[in-house]
Structure 1
Amino acid sequence: MAAPNDSGEMDFLPEDSAPPENSAGIGVPEQTVWRVLAVDDDAGFRQSTAFALSGLEVQGRPLELLQATSYTEACAILGREHDIAVILLDVMMETDDAGLRLARAVREVLGNAEVRIVLVTGQPGLAPMQSVMRDYDINDYWTKTELSVARLHSLLTANVRAYQQLVTIARARRGLQLIVESSNLLSTSRTLQEFSTRTLDEIATLLEVDPDGLICVRQAHAPQSEVRIIGAAGRFARLADHPLSDLPAPEICAALQQAISERRTLVLERATVPYFPASDDDTGAFAAWVATGRPLEPTEIELLHVFASNIGAGLHNVALFSRLDRVAYHDELVDLPNRHAMVRAIDLALERQPRLLSSLLLVDLDNFAGTNLALGPEFGNRLLRAVAQRLRQALMPTVQIARLENDVFALLGPREQIDADRVRGLLDAADDSLPGITAGIAELDLRDWRQGGLEALTAAHMTLKLAKAQGYGGLARYDARDEDAAVERFQLANELRSALAEELIYIELQPQLELRDSGAPGFEALARWRREDGSMVSPASFIPIAEATGAIVALGQRVFQLACEAILELAASGFPQARIAVNVSALQLAREDFVVQLLNTLSTYNLEPWQFELEVTESLAMHSFEHAGGKLARLREAGFTIAIDDFGTGFSSLAYLRRLPVDVLKIDRAFVSEIGEVADAHAIADVVLRLGQRFGLRIVAEGVESRAQADWLSARGCDLGQGFGLARPMPLAQLIDWLRARTAGDATPRR
């Protein structure tokens, strides 16, 4: 796309060309334009866009063109400008996916669902159209060569109209929600002045203007001129409870008198005068004057009419909006307030001073998903209703109860009334309606909380994860340091993805030595991460992050590929019989293509399965026995050696162990460390050794730190040992030197 030529096509402009003085939106007030953001690092394309949009109007409004040259610059503009209708977005800028990352940020980070995003690329086929539009919520997709002036005008017109419709719908939705909320808020007013002042505030919120106005009443059967100000805000606040005649603004007085006399709402150029119809003639006539500073949109006028009718129609409409409020803020399944209602309740609690008694508890029923799956959703629903009823009956009325989602309940109230131990006892007590159940509980003290209700729930949810990680019946109390740790984990997760992409992950190999003759038939591949600045990240830090985020799949594949390269290098260095053990995660084993992927990788390197040992943890092998067992059997049939890692730390069934396709048991280092510390008859390592020998399995002891431990294990028939006491993990080049030294007869086991 470029500047239009005589034929209506687009020609690129030279770098020094400038858009004409009357380009789109220049000098036009912000509220009267459609704003378009063009994001492209091509200066010629940006200038062409400005020429093409010059003088274009959509529905009587000109376009104002904003331009950005990068992802960062566009983010800054979107962060401060909230009324952009259309984004013309290039895919490739400072990075190949900068445009797609920006689209995702607009939808997911900014939460902007209304702005229309048109992807414009100069490289057809770089981003597949269908998947990109679906995955990134893109609204239109064009190549630059396809965009003539006419086509650009057409797609902008269509997308601006779509944006206008979406904004109208969103504004109406927000307005109706505000009306529902204001109806409940106003219903709590105890005096006419309080009611009217709150009404002014609600009108200002509805119209998104500052509360600046007054509300009047002419009592029933009173003379036409006897109108009194019963509530006021902004510059009129001092006139509350004064006759309207005291107001030194004749045009405002006249507008209010007209609205009351004609019983209708007036919409003026820079103000609005809502009239509130009464349910009967005995309640008087009410009207308000609110400064808007601008003409109202049609949607705002309709919402204002709805609001005015809601306030003035009496009990009938109050009941109607109460039902709407119930839909928006009530959980019908358990007959409790929902998440939205709890956020509102927390906000109200935080406004009260002092906050000495406010505490928030989140209660997450243990194994509810398993119960639902085993006994059916209807039983699950009955269980949720029984929990809700138990909490309602047992807790004081001062405690507010809500169901947030699925099986998570929230309690808000005085600390002594929602003590975690008491809630545990309530759930644990079984009767005809509710079996004894356990739950994870998170507690947040609101006394020093300085944020809002939504943030409080978010923090409590984070704390709840810590409670659930403790197992059934876990309890965790909010600590701001946990949030800091969560931020660090998030940052480390992002850094790990970059490290994988930049190949900063490498392996070290730790020998597995034969305890009888110190031969080294195999090695375990251990992932290591060295940052670009040379600092190391401990596997104890990044392995759990990889497992939690799913990056363990890419990490596992990276380690396996590096192990393949190590096998080739060992063979070239004179050690063709070397075997390398590689850990396999639960997520890897769960993938349907895992076996095929391993075999394809071996084929790429021209290697054989017998050269590798695949280690799975005991808990992984037992967690989904049929699924895991089937995958392990296929791998073993293909020629891989299968090992059970950390044996003895899980919950093995001997019947399952006999059926598992396993060749090797690895004794966990915790049991090896007991050797010499407990009596031989009580050593768990001895039990594992006998069990492995009974099943005909090869035994590897992990964490061997001393010669005494190695001798003890060897005397009891343990085949192999692995640990710092025998040989430390080494980079490949150092390992080859170590092996050559041993072969030459001048090496001793590394300590």
Structure 2
Amino acid sequence: MDDQVLLFDDDTPEATEAKVWKILTVDDDPDFQRATAFSLNGMQILNGHIELTQAFSYREAAMLLAERHDIALIFLDVVMETDDAGLRLIRVLREVIGNAEVRVVLLTGEPGMAPVRDVMANYDINDYWTKSELSAERLRTVLTGGIRAYSQLRAVARARRGLQMIVESSNALFCSHNRRELSAKILSEIASVLDVHAEGIVCVRVDEPTGGGRPDPVRIISASGRFTQSIDNTLEDLNQPEVEVLIQRCLAEQKTLQLDHCTVLFFSRFQAGADYACYVATGRGLDDTELELLKVFSVSISRGLYNVSLFSRLEEMAYQDDLLKIPNRNALIRMLDMVLQSNSRSHQVLVMIDVDNFSGVNTAFGTGYGDFILGLVAKRLREAFDGGVLVARVRDDVFAVLGPESEVSAKAIVGLFRRSRRPYELGQVHSLSSVTLGLGEFIGSASVALQSAHLALKQAKGQGHDQHVLYDPQLQTEHAESYRMLLALRDAVDAGRIGIELQPQVDMQSGKVIGVETLARWYREDGTLIPPMSFIPLAETTGYILPLGDYLLRLSFAEAAKLTAAGFPDIRVAVNVSAPQLLQHDFVERFQSHLDAAGVEARQIEIEITESVAMRSFDTVCEQLRKLRVMGVSVAIDDFGTGFSSLSYLRRLPADRLKIDRSFVSEIGEVEDRQLIAAAVIQIASRVGMQVIAEGVENQEQADWMIAHGCIEAQGYLIARPMPGERLLEWLRAWPGRLA
């Protein structure tokens, strides 16, 4: 469902002029959405009215938040497509989209699904309520607190961005070699800070009037916009009486003038060496933040190169980590850009390190202890390197070291924190993971280099603690290729190039065809096949498995209907279901809806889930499977034996049959009987009261072995290869009723 925007406005002049607070509600319950919209209608918060946007799923909300950065507050349901959809959305919002300003109020109708203490500790949210507690009055209170926090964060962020721009602008000014060049930069940099068109003039009067005589003429030393032609002329030659009057007034009163359409800045000779007036046509009045920024910038301009202390302070605010007092991510990117553009880049490396289990430390001991650990890391890194090596904090517990390859190595950095004695002493860093990126062969900007290193580090940490890897440029290529494949997959679904083939399953004793398994197939326009293992994991990782899975369900049920129409109503159709699909709260309802639309009975369908899916959110999976079995759907556990599930869990799992993985079937004839895993799987199935079916049966020896050991159901090339639905019907009519 597309997001919905509701603007509550009572059409009064006051409402039209008031602020607009943009609120997003994310909940898959239409009734709750309607109730929330009704409660917010006409509500005034902090002199503003509400503009409400509604999203009904994790995917819909993520897409909306990626596009819009002006939302003040989100009311977010914890449980949507999955039990943790809301929590995952917070991670995406903060870590992927990078929006740290929007405030989040977490809501739940099932308090036990996400414990309050854990959620408040581990996620950047403002509040957490059960839906039943959120009365109209409490809703107003929560809104007021969240919007006030958002406003304050926005103001701080805007001021910080302005200060950073001032640092950069001041740097540009101080690189000037003469007054004219400096003045030209003053105009462009002021316009940049205020986000207005660069149009104005800079005038100077070197000498004061003496003895009542006529003062020296005011000379225009720089100009832009419509004033460009006036450079090197006097103010009297400008032929702009209004502008001339304002500049003369500014110089006479020796103060800055603020008007609705322009600003005239005054720079005193006591700091700038002469009296300057800078006229900037803003076209609008300036707000308080802009006035403060302009005030700071004016000081920077007037003092110029002499005001080293102010420049240093602004530099510190923009490029220094507040907590650790070391360079921050901005400083790292700036230095990386310089290195990547230098001739010495081939000998430079970037090492990023991450404190293993830092979040666990924070949770166990609190943020104070976590800050202590971060300080320890920063101190040891600073002490280990001289001024030619940059040590920076990238974010949270991630640090970067940038310098010559001869001085910087991950092994040496990790060695700083190794303790031969009492290695697990409290107050120490016990384990680090790292990635090393050589800059000599790297292609891309500083931001891309940093993102690439961070991605490699994240993947390394996924393998466990104490991981140390070299960045592989192929990783960047692989991710670009994955993105292209995802786009192609969506296009292929729309174009109908994703389909299914069916592989028969037979009773090897009677020869009766008892079922077919549906297998996803993607054919390019040229007819070549893209293997399922190339796109199904990608779809699961990106969340596209949800629409793709629904699409494949509909195709499979349509084939079941065709089998019935052709006179084969007792052949069950086995469909693979992924974890994200099964864990959706409304999966069973949608499953039934697809059955009804296809005119297929539940008994004709079997769903196959892998062992890993079964073990994910085990209780939820069991509940979903029980509902399906009550409907009449049978359940098979695919690839059994390839995972690590406990047999006690298997006994509790509501399933009808185990599938022996083809890797175990292929051992028959190659491995001694007493060592065959297939025999163990058959015995396990017998013990827990499940049927067993072998997949990947390719020769008669394997078939005979299976029958001899009590497994009579099988599928594989010995019987038939996967085939389209029409060819399957032909095959069924020609099937001799026995194995060859």
Deviation at 1:652, TM superposition (A): 1.4
Structure 1 contact 219–285 (Cα < 8 Å) conserved: no
Output the CA distance in 2 between the equivalents of 1:616 and 1:731.
22
SS in 1 for 2:668: coil
Q: Deviations over 1:615-659 (max 9, x none)?
A: 222122223223323333333344332222222222212332232
Q: Who is 2:493 aligned against?
A: 500
Structure 1 contact 583–614 (Cα < 8 Å) conserved: yes
Q: Which amino acid aligns with 2:167?
A: V
Structure 1 contact 274–304 (Cα < 8 Å) conserved: no
Structure 1 contact 509–730 (Cα < 8 Å) conserved: yes
CA gap 1:444/1:274 in 2 versus in 1, 3 angstroms = farther
SS in 2 for 1:356: helix
Q: Who is 2:503 aligned against?
A: 510
Output the CA distance in 2 between the equivalents of 1:616 and 1:666.
10
Q: Who is 1:434 aligned against?
A: 428
CA gap 1:585/1:204 in 2 versus in 1, 3 angstroms = same
Q: Who is 2:166 aligned against?
A: 179
Output the CA distance in 1 between the equivalents of 2:619 and 2:610.
15
Structure 1 contact 337–401 (Cα < 8 Å) conserved: yes
Greater Cα offset, 691-700 or 379-388: 379-388
Deviation at 1:108, TM superposition (A): 5.9
Output the CA distance in 2 between the equivalents of 1:566 and 1:106.
36
Q: Deviations over 1:66-122 (max 9, x none)?
A: xxxxxxxxxxxxxxxxxxxxxxxxxxxxxxxxxxxxxx999967x8979xxxxxxxx
Q: Who is 2:617 aligned against?
A: 624
Q: Who is 1:722 aligned against?
A: 715
Deviation at 1:505, TM superposition (A): 2.4
1:537 aligned residue (510, 530, 534): 530
Q: Which amino acid aligns with 1:592?
A: H
Q: Who is 1:354 aligned against?
A: 344
Output the CA distance in 2 between the equivalents of 1:357 and 1:520.
67
SS in 2 for 1:411: strand
CA gap 1:599/1:272 in 2 versus in 1, 3 angstroms = closer
Q: Which amino acid aligns with 1:740?
A: R
SS in 1 for 2:671: coil
Q: Deviations over 1:288-318 (max 9, x none)?
A: 79898x7887659986554231344699986
Q: Who is 1:523 aligned against?
A: 516
Structure 1 contact 200–211 (Cα < 8 Å) conserved: no
Q: Who is 1:648 aligned against?
A: 641
Output the CA distance in 1 between the equivalents of 2:360 and 2:588.
29
Query: What are the equivalent positions in structure 2 for 1:6-45 lying under 5 Å apart?
Result: none
SS in 1 for 2:400: strand
CA gap 1:727/1:474 in 2 versus in 1, 3 angstroms = farther
Greater Cα offset, 363-372 or 506-515: 363-372
Q: Who is 1:343 aligned against?
A: 333
Structure 1 contact 615–643 (Cα < 8 Å) conserved: yes
SS in 1 for 2:426: coil
Q: Who is 1:420 aligned against?
A: 410
Query: What are the equivalent positions in structure 2 for 1:198-217 lying under 5 Å apart?
Result: 201=185, 204-207=188-191
CA RMSD of aligned residues (A): 5.2
Q: Which amino acid aligns with 1:178?
A: M
Deviation at 1:446, TM superposition (A): 2.2
Q: Who is 2:322 aligned against?
A: 332
Q: Who is 1:700 aligned against?
A: 693
Q: How many residues align?
A: 572
Q: Deviations over 1:451-495 (max 9, x none)?
A: 432232233344445535555555554455443432332222123
Structure 1 contact 219–284 (Cα < 8 Å) conserved: no
Output the CA distance in 1 between the equivalents of 2:480 and 2:272.
58
Query: What are the equivalent positions in structure 2 for 1:59-138 lying under 5 Å apart?
Result: none
Greater Cα offset, 608-617 or 306-315: 306-315
Output the CA distance in 2 between the equivalents of 1:598 and 1:199.
70
Structure 1 contact 672–703 (Cα < 8 Å) conserved: yes
Deviation at 1:567, TM superposition (A): 1.8
Deviation at 1:597, TM superposition (A): 1.9
Output the CA distance in 1 between the equivalents of 2:236 and 2:165.
27
CA gap 1:579/1:233 in 2 versus in 1, 3 angstroms = same
1:594 aligned residue (583, 587, 594): 587
SS in 2 for 1:613: strand
Alignment pair present for 1:604 and 2:600: no
Output the CA distance in 1 between the equivalents of 2:418 and 2:510.
58
Output the CA distance in 1 between the equivalents of 2:625 and 2:652.
11
Deviation at 1:595, TM superposition (A): 1.9
Structure 2 contact 159–293 (Cα < 8 Å) conserved: yes
Structure 1 contact 272–289 (Cα < 8 Å) conserved: no
Structure 1 contact 252–289 (Cα < 8 Å) conserved: no
Structure 1 contact 336–401 (Cα < 8 Å) conserved: yes
Output the CA distance in 2 between the equivalents of 1:217 and 1:710.
102
Alignment pair present for 1:363 and 2:353: yes
Structure 1 contact 428–438 (Cα < 8 Å) conserved: no
Task: Give structure 1 stretches of 5+ with no counterpart.
Answer: 1-103, 115-134, 136-167, 236-246
Output the CA distance in 2 between the equivalents of 1:629 and 1:435.
41
CA gap 1:378/1:301 in 2 versus in 1, 3 angstroms = closer
Output the CA distance in 2 between the equivalents of 1:414 and 1:504.
51
CA gap 1:113/1:375 in 2 versus in 1, 3 angstroms = closer
Output the CA distance in 2 between the equivalents of 1:390 and 1:172.
33
Q: Which amino acid aligns with 1:285?
A: G
Output the CA distance in 2 between the equivalents of 1:457 and 1:199.
36
Structure 1 contact 107–113 (Cα < 8 Å) conserved: no
CA gap 1:625/1:727 in 2 versus in 1, 3 angstroms = same
Greater Cα offset, 576-585 or 198-207: 198-207
Output the CA distance in 2 between the equivalents of 1:706 and 1:417.
61
Alignment pair present for 1:566 and 2:547: no
Structure 1 contact 329–339 (Cα < 8 Å) conserved: yes
Alignment pair present for 1:285 and 2:273: yes
Structure 1 contact 360–446 (Cα < 8 Å) conserved: yes
Output the CA distance in 2 between the equivalents of 1:733 and 1:587.
31
CA gap 1:302/1:335 in 2 versus in 1, 3 angstroms = closer
Task: Give structure 2 stretches of 5+ with no counterpart.
Answer: 1-61, 72-92, 94-154, 225-230, 239-243
CA gap 1:691/1:388 in 2 versus in 1, 3 angstroms = farther
Deviation at 1:666, TM superposition (A): 2.1
Greater Cα offset, 551-560 or 396-405: 396-405
Q: Who is 2:121 aligned against?
A: none
Structure 2 contact 267–277 (Cα < 8 Å) conserved: no
CA gap 1:635/1:321 in 2 versus in 1, 3 angstroms = farther
Q: Who is 2:79 aligned against?
A: none
2:298 aligned residue (288, 303, 308): 308
Q: Which amino acid aligns with 1:204?
A: S
Output the CA distance in 2 between the equivalents of 1:304 and 1:398.
35
Structure 1 contact 213–288 (Cα < 8 Å) conserved: no
Output the CA distance in 1 between the equivalents of 2:304 and 2:277.
21
Deviation at 1:419, TM superposition (A): 2.4
Q: Which amino acid aligns with 2:704?
A: D
Deviation at 1:172, TM superposition (A): 8.3
CA gap 1:423/1:169 in 2 versus in 1, 3 angstroms = closer
Output the CA distance in 2 between the equivalents of 1:170 and 1:373.
27
Deviation at 1:587, TM superposition (A): 0.8
Q: Who is 1:546 aligned against?
A: 539
Q: TM-score, normalised by structure 1?
A: 0.62
Structure 2 contact 180–222 (Cα < 8 Å) conserved: no
Q: TM-score, normalised by structure 2?
A: 0.63
Output the CA distance in 2 between the equivalents of 1:347 and 1:199.
27
